[in-house]
Structure formats: structure tokens, C-alpha cells
């Protein structure tokens, strides 16, 4: 079994690195952090022109018809650059939801615009600080209209449509498509630790919606979508962790103390070695997740939880150690260390907490062992 990417996929990686180095530099990220814009609109248009938003969409709907492996390559490079765009919300979750559960009419209506980047979509599940369960899901759909509040919703302030998890009052949850430009929708931007990935509170008051997927299967659909997105977010986290290690290495090689580079000191060597080990373990798990995602393998739930848990640990550790290796300068606003630390904290909770994914991993491994026994 070969887990390595193909030559074409490595060429895609090189193209992405060159493009993002120019279009999504730390200066571009800081412009969003310090400004009033929710995302880099010029970068989004350029990414769409390159076909990134159309990666896994079939050619029949205006897409490129590529595999999820290409999307994993792009995800890692987007994580390395901290690109401030709604790519993950629109592509990893919303587009995937339409591809897997949308009917032909819905796919023909939305996928071409998503492929071209003219339409931005988000995914709305959370309803505050408590994890959403079948017992506390408050958003409801009755007679085809949606009411309730979703918060926080990644990119909810810029998206045109949202995939919303809600129930019909009887406890049966389903996914629905809501037009966020409707009169029954109120959007309020929410402050987070990382403003370069905007979030919003969405309030629905009798907003007409259409069901996405099977009636009453929202929980099952949502879990499947989260598993698939977890692999892609894990690649983002590995890309961010690698960027932290590269930044720490470059600084340590150029920073002199007592007449020699601090990279020659044993304490710094140990820190960077531990960062490398964490990244290597996470990348290995991500490659396993990429294989499972691309082949729809039965091992995907375990592979997704493994990749998600290890990549979350790796990114947080590397972002933290990068600051420490930079010493007193690492804590200042002028250095870029905090940009990666912010993103590591945000990505650690965007699909549920690290503890949730570790619990899922244990539960799924136990189930797999019992099944094979």
C-alpha cells in the first residue's frame, strides 16, 4: 500500500507554495487581522481562478473532478500560509455536504457557483458553548421554515448560504440549506482569538429552507461530514505546525548568543527535535486519513479521529515552542509567532474539542476490536 502523493500532486503542492508565498504572506494575514475585512477577497478570487474551490466538484457541475488527495495537498499549504479565506467552510464542509447528500436539483443549483467561487457557503451546527446533542438541539424547522440561533458559525458573516443542522420538534434532526441573504436571517459578527477566520451568530426567524439529505438522518450525516472534514483540517494543522518549525529553525540559526547561533545550544536542539517528532507523527496519521478519505474506507472514522487528535496536539505544541525559541521577541506583536498560535487554538475547537476526538478515537478503536474478535 503506497501512502505517498503522486508526482502530479507534488507539482500541485509546489504551485500552491509559490502562489501562497506571494499572495498570502504574513503581511496579507496582518492586513485582515488589523483591518475591518472578514477575509482577503482578492486572494479568494485568485484561488477560485486556479480552480481550488472546484477541486472535488465533478466536471458536470463546473468542477475539476479531482480526488480528495489533491484537496489534502491544498489544505496543508493553506495551513502553512494561514490564508485568510472561507475555504474550509465552503469547500471542506458545505461543498462536501452537497456532493454527498444533495439531490440533482440542489447540486445543479449550487455546485457550479461554489466551483467558481461566486457562492460562499458555511456550515452551522453549534448553538453556544455546550456541545450540541439530540437532547439540547434548539434550532427547529416546522412547515419548511427555520427558527433558532447558531453560534459560533465559521464564515457565517460572509457566506451566501448555510448548511444548518436542525430538528422538526420531535427530536429527529436533519440538515437544511438556508439562504443567508433572506429577510428572516440576522447576522452578527463574533469576536474570536483569530479574527483572520471570521465567525458570526446567525439568528433565523421563520426563514424558508430546503432539506439536504435524508429526512431525520441529520446526526448521521453530520458525523460523517465531520470525519471527512477532520482529515482536511488535520492537514491544515500539520502545515501550520511545519511553518512553526521552519520559523523557529530560521530564527535559531540567525540569532547569536555568546558568540554562536542559539541553534547550537542543546536546549534549543531538543525543542526543535520534539517539534519535528510531533509533526512527523501527525503527518503519518494524516496520510493514513487521506487514504481512508479518498477511498471511502471503513477505517475512515478511526483514521479521522487519529489524524485530528495528533495534528491538534502537534500544531499547539509547535506554535507554543516557536514562541519560546524566539524568546522575549516571540511574545511581541511585531513577530509572526502569535499568528500561528492564534490559528492553532482556533482549529483545535472548530470541529469539537480535542477531548471529544480522543474520546471518539478510544470508542471507535474499542468497537473495531470487538468487531474483529
pLDDT score of 373 more than 80: no
Burial class, 170, CB count within 10 angstroms (exposed 0-12 / middle 13-18 / buried 19+)? exposed
Cα angle 18, 20, 24 (rounded to 5 degrees) comes to 145
DSSP H or E segment with residue 84: none
pLDDT score of 2 more than 80: no
Alpha-carbon distance of 193 to 197, in angstroms, equals: 9
In the chain, % of residues over pLDDT 90: 92
In the 8-state DSSP scheme, what is residue 5? P
Which set of grid coordinates corresponds to residue 162? 448555510
Are 28 and 37 spatial neighbours (Cβ–Cβ below 8 Å)? Answer: no
**Confidence (pLDDT) at 371:** 84
**Confidence (pLDDT) at 10:** 93
pLDDT score of 144 more than 80: yes
**Confidence (pLDDT) at 246:** 97
pLDDT score of 6 more than 80: yes
Of 319, 89, 331, 44, the residue nearest 198 (C-alpha): 89
Are 157 and 199 spatial neighbours (Cβ–Cβ below 8 Å)? Answer: yes
**Confidence (pLDDT) at 178:** 97
pLDDT digits over 86-110, tens only? 999 999 999 999 999 999 999 999 9
Lowest average pLDDT, out of 230-234, 315-319, 332-336, goes to 332-336
Alpha-carbon distance of 264 to 276, in angstroms, equals: 16
Q: Mind listing the domains of the chain with CATH numbers? A: 7-119 (1.10.540.10), 122-216 (2.40.110.10), 219-372 (1.20.140.10)
Work out the average pLDDT over 175-192: 96
Helix (H, G, I), strand (E, B) or coil at 64: coil
What CA–CA distances, in Å, run from 13 to 9, 284, 291, 345?
6, 17, 17, 25
Helix (H, G, I), strand (E, B) or coil at 370: helix
pLDDT score of 1 more than 80: no
DSSP letter string, 131-171: PP-TTT---EEETTEEEEEEEEEETTTT-SEEEEEEE-SSS
Residue 3 pLDDT grade (very low, low, confident, very high; cuts 50, 70, 90): low
DSSP H or E segment with residue 187: strand 185-190
Strands 173-179 and 185-190: unpaired
Work out the average pLDDT over 202-229: 96
Alpha-carbon distance of 344 to 333, in angstroms, equals: 17
**Confidence (pLDDT) at 71:** 98
How many C-beta atoms surround the C-beta of residue 68 within 10 A? 23
Alpha-carbon distance of 259 to 187, in angstroms, equals: 56
Of 195, 126, 194, the residue nearest 163 (C-alpha): 126
Of 276, 350, 338, the residue nearest 312 (C-alpha): 350
Work out the average pLDDT over 209-238: 96
The chain-wide mean pLDDT, for the chain, equals 95
Torsional sign, CA 240, 231, 69, 61:
negative
Residue 132 pLDDT grade (very low, low, confident, very high; cuts 50, 70, 90): confident
Contacts of 281 (CB under 8 A, 6+ apart): 310, 314
Cα angle 279, 281, 282 (rounded to 5 degrees) comes to 65
pLDDT score of 358 more than 60: yes
First to last CA, the chain: 24
Q: What are residue 327's phi and psi, to 5 degrees?
A: 65, -145
- Give Dmax over CA atoms of the chain in angstroms: 75
Work out the average pLDDT over 68-82: 97
Q: What are residue 335's phi and psi, to 5 degrees?
A: -85, 155
How many C-beta atoms surround the C-beta of residue 187 within 10 A? 16
Amino acid at each position: 500500500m503506497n501512502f505517498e502523493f503522486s508526482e502530479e500532486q507534488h507539482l500541485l503542492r509546489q504551485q500552491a507554495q509559490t502562489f501562497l508565498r506571494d499572495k498570502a504572506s504574513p503581511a496579507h494575514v496582518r492586513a485582515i487581522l488589523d483591518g475591518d475585512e472578514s477575509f482577503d477577497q482578492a486572494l479568494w478570487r485568485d484561488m477560485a481562478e486556479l480552480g481550488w474551490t472546484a477541486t472535488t466538484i465533478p466536471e458536470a457541475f463546473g468542477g475539476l473532478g479531482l480526488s480528495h488527495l489533491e484537496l489534502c495537498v491544498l489544505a496543508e499549504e493553506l495551513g502553512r500560509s494561514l490564508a485568510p479565506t472561507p475555504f474550509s467552510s465552503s469547500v471542506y464542509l458545505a461543498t462536501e455536504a452537497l456532493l454527498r447528500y444533495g439531490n440533482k436539483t440542489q447540486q445543479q443549483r449550487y455546485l457550479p457557483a461554489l466551483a467558481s467561487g461566486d457562492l460562499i457557503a458555511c456550515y452551522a451546527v453549534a448553538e453556544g458553548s455546550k456541545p450540541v446533542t439530540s437532547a439540547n438541539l434548539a434550532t427547529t424547522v416546522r412547515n419548511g421554515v427555520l427558527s433558532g440561533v447558531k453560534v459560533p458559525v465559521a464564515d457565517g458573516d460572509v457566506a451566501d448560504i448555510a448548511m444548518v443542522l436542525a430538528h422538526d420538534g420531535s427530536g429527529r434532526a436533519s440538515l437544511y440549506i438556508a439562504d443567508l441573504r433572506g429577510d428572516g436571517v440576522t447576522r452578527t459578527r463574533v469576536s474570536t482569538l483569530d479574527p483572520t477566520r471570521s465567525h458570526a451568530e446567525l439568528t433565523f426567524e421563520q426563514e424558508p429552507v430546503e432539506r439536504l439529505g435524508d429526512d431525520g438522518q441529520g446526526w448521521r450525516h453530520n458525523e460523517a461530514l465531520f470525519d471527512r472534514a477532520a482529515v482536511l483540517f488535520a492537514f491544515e494543522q500539520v502545515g501550520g505546525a511545519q511553518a512553526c518549525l521552519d520559523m523557529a529553525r530560521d530564527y535559531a540559526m540567525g540569532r547569536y548568543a555568546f558568540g554562536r547561533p542559539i541553534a547550537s545550544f542543546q536546549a534549543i536542539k531538543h525543542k526543535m527535535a520534539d517539534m519535528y517528532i510531533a509533526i512527523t507523527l501527525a503527518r503519518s496519521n494524516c496520510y493514513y486519513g487521506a487514504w481512508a478519505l479518498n477511498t471511502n474506507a471503513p477505517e475512515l472514522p478511526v483514521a479521522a479521529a487519529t489524524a485530528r487528535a495528533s495534528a491538534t496536539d502537534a500544531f499547539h505544541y509547535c506554535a507554543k515552542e516557536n514562541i519560546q525559541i524566539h524568546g522575549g521577541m516571540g511574545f511581541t506583536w511585531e513577530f509572526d509567532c502569535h499568528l500561528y498560535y492564534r490559528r492553532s487554538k482556533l482549529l483545535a475547537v472548530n470541529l469539537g474539542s480535542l477531548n471529544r476526538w480522543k474520546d471518539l478515537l478510544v470508542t471507535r478503536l474499542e468497537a473495531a476490536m470487538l468487531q474483529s474478535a
